[in-house]
Structure 1
Amino acid sequence: MTADVGVSFVMPVLNERDYLEHAVASVLAQDVDGPTELVLALGPSTDGTTALAEALAAADARIRLVDNPAAHIPVGLNAAIRASRHPIVIRVDAHSELSPGYTRRAIATLRRTGAANVGGVMSADGRTAFQKAVARLYNSPVGLGGGAYHGGAREGEAESAYLGVMRREVLDEVGLFDESIRRGEDWELNLRIRQAGHLVWFDPELSVTYWPRESWWRLARQFHATGAWRGELVRRYGRSNGLRYFAPPALVVLLVVAAVVGALQLTGVLRGILSLIASLVYLPLVAYALLVIAVGLAPGKRSVRERLWMMLVLPTMHLSWGLGFLAGVLRGAGDIVDASRLGDRNTPLP
């Protein structure tokens, strides 16, 4: 890369009226030694997002628009990448905001490490008590922890990268996002990048503010879809998936087994020593319940509402994800999408 390098930001957009303007502003404010562009892939929004995007594009020549009628994230990302022109491609989410200096630091890290893709920390934040509760759990090892970008402190080689600052030449080599994958498409792309012998790098100095879903129902739908697609990825790629992905479905299985044991004990089918042995299944569930309570009561400046939401949100994340995962493993993800930004909240889970 030369000293002055062009940067293409790509952003899939669907029903993001409340977040889009701030996300776009954080991109356009980036300090870059070279030309920049922001390509928005517009899905069929119903909340006025498209009109807002058109107004933003009319006000700044750096913004370009492409259509994403299918509304699928990888399809929109690929359309935006194909329409973009510069050697550095930076994925941006409409529900997020880049920190000042993000792009300059990321390009410097690409040069320093020789990596093909660089990512940083997904720093979740909230405006309401519910969003704040979700954000705390996103940033916690007991909530959405595991990947370095959920709170890792050490710089180094990574399995995947949040959003991603990518070299176009590597994207051309390994192919773009797999459009048959509706969730987890970034993990799958980074798997191909690593299999091709390239480096994926985590830099904790890079930070992106992420705004979680605004309601319990939308959060549950999001996690169900994400879990289903992780199950699909396990079907496709087996042991390439980390062991941490199996914890939520294990919790679901334990709950089912405990319910069966309880029913057998109440009806007298299980009794005596067999009933006592079978009761051991309750121990990890009691430990989990204590963990949920401990999370809500942990020291820190939090309102009572936020603490109560944390004790509801944590099992919601785990159980929705785990149920989706089991469905994805057993029958595949099929046409399941993240419906948390689509339709009416009374629509049942797909």
Structure 2
Amino acid sequence: MPRPLAIIIPCRNEERYIGRCLDSVLANDYDHRLLDIVVVDGMSTDRTREIVAEYARKYPCVRLLDNPDKIKPTALNLGIANTSADVVMRIDAHSLYDTQYIPILVEGLYKHDCDNIGGIRETEPGDTVWSRAIAHAISHPFSVGNALYRTGVTGDEPREVDTVFCGCYRRRVFERIGLFNEKLIRTQDREFNERLRAIGGKIILVPQARCSYFPRTPWSTYCKWNYQGSYWLYYASRFTDTKMKSWRNLLPAGFVLWHILALIMAFTAPVLAAVMAAPIVFYWMLNAFVSVKTAMAENAWTMAPALMLLFATTHYGYGLGALHGGLAALWQGKDVANCSPERIPEFVRKAA
């Protein structure tokens, strides 16, 4: 049975995608009279607000909210506070959604008696070799580990996971554990889901619900996106006691730390440095193998060098960001009661 649904779409400067995103949401097989679609805009400076206003005039279920703080957790909390439906779904403005995405998740939320539910995020490749390589880099197990909503799953059976893309929640969840942590510019969804799991909450991945994500393709943006994600995962320990790191988050940090130790040994113990170099050589051999194999599957040999660069960017960038965030958190100490944004480097303060 269809239920009243609040859809929250945080965005800022998304003029290229917000219209298509809204079209895909409105095209879902769901009664518009039950929808409350709230676009929470971070004071966009392009045509985003104008585009959303046009949709709001055409569709009574669409409205625009201002987010002066311009960060995602604040946008989510504003959307939750300004809606009343028992089901709350987050939508990413940089994505398009299958026509059954919404009904599958809303039905699944009650069918599986869970607290948060999500689907598979398929990365939409662009027209160039580079953009196709980006699509593989953010969805390949060699790059992202066991994040199933990114890599996809075998079969159609729903399964319990630690996190999902965006998410669809029962409102009671926010009443039980609170809202998103506004001190976390990134990783706020991960922290929220870990809080949810800590009290016995259940998060379900439903493979039939699918959306298409359009990645940002410049290499500099990709580097910053990776660095910021890991920085905030580790730096978050300043602002929350929630445990968020898994093996897939620890490996890159250990990988980069190993490089640093091997470099030090090269000047102090050359024989030991040669031994420590073996795993590094193995990594690059594995990187080359995975890159060539993926390129061959795409019948695009020229993609292999791009994939090698992007896989390395993912691992090294994530590892460096993790070390930076962890050391910054240790140096600055706990600040659970009061966030001091002026102490956060500009590089990791602004969204990529």
Distance 1:63 1:75 in 2: 19
- Residues 160, 287 of structure 1: alpha-carbon distance in 2 compared, 3 angstrom cutoff: same
CA deviations over 1:323-348 (Å, ceiling 9, x no partner): 111111111396333532xxxxxxxx
1:92–1:163 contact (8 Å) kept in structure 2 = yes
Equivalent residues, number:
329
C-alpha deviation, 1:50, in angstroms: 2.2
> Superposition pairs for residues 148-297 of structure 1, below 5 Å?
148-150=148-150, 151-153=152-154, 155-233=158-236, 236-237=240-241, 240-262=244-266, 264=267, 270=269, 275-297=270-292
**Structure-2 residue corresponding to 1:307:** 304
C-alpha deviation, 1:297, in angstroms: 0.8
Distance 1:12 1:306 in 2: 33
Give the partner amino acid of 2:279: P
1:221–1:338 contact (8 Å) kept in structure 2 = no
C-alpha deviation, 1:254, in angstroms: 2.0
1:225–1:338 contact (8 Å) kept in structure 2 = no
C-alpha deviation, 1:240, in angstroms: 4.7
The answer to whether structure 1 residue 17 and structure 2 residue 15 are counterparts is yes
Runs of at least 5 residues in structure 1 that lack an aligned partner in the other structure: 341-350
C-alpha deviation, 1:37, in angstroms: 2.0
Give the partner amino acid of 1:12: P
- Residues 301, 147 of structure 1: alpha-carbon distance in 2 compared, 3 angstrom cutoff: closer
**Structure-2 residue corresponding to 1:134:** 134
**Structure-2 residue corresponding to 1:119:** 118
- Residues 126, 311 of structure 1: alpha-carbon distance in 2 compared, 3 angstrom cutoff: same
Return the TM-score normalized by structure 2.
Answer: 0.87
Between 1:52-61 and 1:230-239, the stretch displaced more is 230-239
1:226–1:338 contact (8 Å) kept in structure 2 = no
**Candidates 1, 24, 42, aligned match of 1:26:** 24
Distance 1:101 1:84 in 2: 23
Give the partner amino acid of 2:201: H
2:145–2:248 contact (8 Å) kept in structure 1 = no
1:249–1:325 contact (8 Å) kept in structure 2 = yes
1:160–1:190 contact (8 Å) kept in structure 2 = yes
C-alpha deviation, 1:52, in angstroms: 2.1
Distance 2:37 2:302 in 1: 38
Q: Specify the SS of the correspondent of 1:143.
A: helix
**Candidates 314, 339, 343, aligned match of 2:351:** 339
**Structure-2 residue corresponding to 1:348:** none
1:228–1:329 contact (8 Å) kept in structure 2 = yes
Distance 2:93 2:260 in 1: 38
Runs of at least 5 residues in structure 2 that lack an aligned partner in the other structure: 330-340
Distance 2:299 2:144 in 1: 19
Percent identical residues: 27
C-alpha deviation, 1:39, in angstroms: 0.5
Distance 1:58 1:148 in 2: 38
Give the partner amino acid of 2:286: L
Give the partner amino acid of 1:77: L
Distance 1:302 1:76 in 2: 42
- Residues 302, 83 of structure 1: alpha-carbon distance in 2 compared, 3 angstrom cutoff: farther
- Residues 237, 53 of structure 1: alpha-carbon distance in 2 compared, 3 angstrom cutoff: same
Q: Specify the SS of the correspondent of 2:143.
A: coil
2:191–2:242 contact (8 Å) kept in structure 1 = no
- C-alpha RMSD over aligned residues: 2.0
Distance 1:152 1:234 in 2: 31
CA deviations over 1:91-136 (Å, ceiling 9, x no partner): 0111111122011111221121100110121211221332221211
Distance 2:46 2:216 in 1: 16
CA deviations over 1:213-237 (Å, ceiling 9, x no partner): 1200011111111111111245644
Distance 1:259 1:69 in 2: 46
Distance 2:185 2:146 in 1: 21
Distance 1:293 1:238 in 2: 37
Q: Specify the SS of the correspondent of 1:66.
A: strand
Q: Specify the SS of the correspondent of 1:326.
A: helix
Q: Specify the SS of the correspondent of 1:8.
A: strand
Give the partner amino acid of 1:331: A
C-alpha deviation, 1:13, in angstroms: 0.5
